[in-house]
Structure 1
C-alpha cells in the first residue's frame, strides 16, 4: 500500500470513496450522515490530501493547518478495504508530515459514541480537547450550522513530541 499525495484528477474518486465509507452510518440509524454531502472539490483543492493506493486510491485523508495543528477534515476508507489499518497509517503519515512542519499535533472532530469514530481514534492515541481554540470552536459551529449536534460530537487531539507519535 503506497501513501502519496492525491492528484486533482482523483478528487471525484475520493468523493465516491467518502460516500461509500459513510454507508455504515445508515445501519447505525443515522441515514442523514450516510447521505450527507461529501467534501466539495474546491475544499479538497485547498487541503493537503494523501491517498492510500493499491494500486489506485482505496482511502484518503484531507488536512488543513489550524492553530498550529494538522486538522483532519476527512479520512475515508472504502468499505472493501476497511479494518486493515489503512486509516491509522494515513493518520501516522499526516503526523510525520505535521512534525516536519513543526506543528504541535493533529486535531479532528468526530462522533462521540460511534464505535468507528471517537473510540477508534482514542485507541490510536487521540484524547478529548479540554478547551477549544477559537478556530476549533469555529469548526464546531460550522458543523452545527450544517445540522451536526454538538452534543454528539467531540474534538480530539494527538500531540507530537519530537516528531514521534505520543500516545497518552
Structure 2
C-alpha cells in the first residue's frame, strides 16, 4: 500500500500466499462488470499450481499493507528477451493509489538490474484501467507484425481463451 510518504512496500510472494492472490484477482475482476464484460469478471484466476512457477522464477511480486498482507500482485515471465507482465491486479479497496504503478516500477527496476531492455504486456484496448492506464505508465502499442514468437504465442492463447471478443493490444515499455 502507498504510505503517507509515498513509499509502498513490495516483496516477493510467499507460496502460502497464493490463495490470497486469487482473492485479489476475483475482487479486481468484478470491475469488468461495470464496462459490460461480465465474462471477464467471472473468469477464474490462475490456480495455485499455475501461479507457483512465477514464484519459483522470482517473478511474483506483492504490494503489502502495514500488516504485511498482500493488497495487489504482479506476475511476470521472460518472453522474447523482455519481462512480460502476465497479470497485475490491485484489490479495489486499494485502487487508484499508485499501487499497480509501484509494482510495475519494481519490476522495471528488476529488469534494468538484469540488463533486460523492456517490459511487455497484453491488455484490453478500450478499458480505461487497461491500455490508457498502461500508456500513462510509459507503455506503447506494438504492431502485430513486430511481435516476436513468444508474444505471438501469448496472443494465440488469449484468442483461444476468448479474450479477443474485445479489442486487445500488446504494449511495450523500453527501459
TM-score of the alignment, normalized to the shorter chain, above 0.5: yes
Residues 52-84 of structure 1, C-alpha deviations (whole Å, 9 max, x = no match): 000210001001011111100000000000000
What is the CA–CA distance in structure 1 between the aligned matches of 2:48 and 2:159, rounded to whole Å?
Answer: 21
Judge which range, 4-13 or 147-156, deviates more: 147-156
Q: Tell me which residue corresponds to 1:158.
A: 173
For residue 102 of structure 1, report the CA deviation from its aligned partner.
Answer: 1.2
Counterpart selection for 2:63 from 44, 52, 58 = 52
Partner of 2:150: 135
3-state secondary structure, aligned to 2:163: coil
Question: Which of 140, 145, 148 is equivalent to 2:163?
Answer: 148
- SS of the residue corresponding to residue 103 of structure 1 reads coil
> Structure 1 stretches (4+) deviating beyond 3 angstroms?
none
SS at the partner of 1:39? coil
- What's 1:91 paired with? 104
1:140, 1:150 within 8 Å by CA — same for their partners in 2?
no
In structure 2, the partner of 1:37 is 44
* 1:23 alignment partner, SS class: helix
Q: Which moved more, 1:33-42 or 1:144-153?
A: 144-153
Residue 84 of structure 1 aligns to a residue in which SS? coil
Paired positions, count:
160
How much is the aligned-residue C-alpha RMSD, in angstroms? 1.0
Residue pair 2:124, 2:166 contacting (<8 A) in 1 also: no
Evaluate the alpha carbon distance shift between residue 151 and residue 15 of structure 1 in structure 2; reply closer, same or farther with a 3 A threshold. Answer: closer
SS in 1 for 2:120: strand
Verify: 1:100 aligned to 2:117, yes or no.
no
Structure 1: where are the runs of 5+ without partners?
161-168
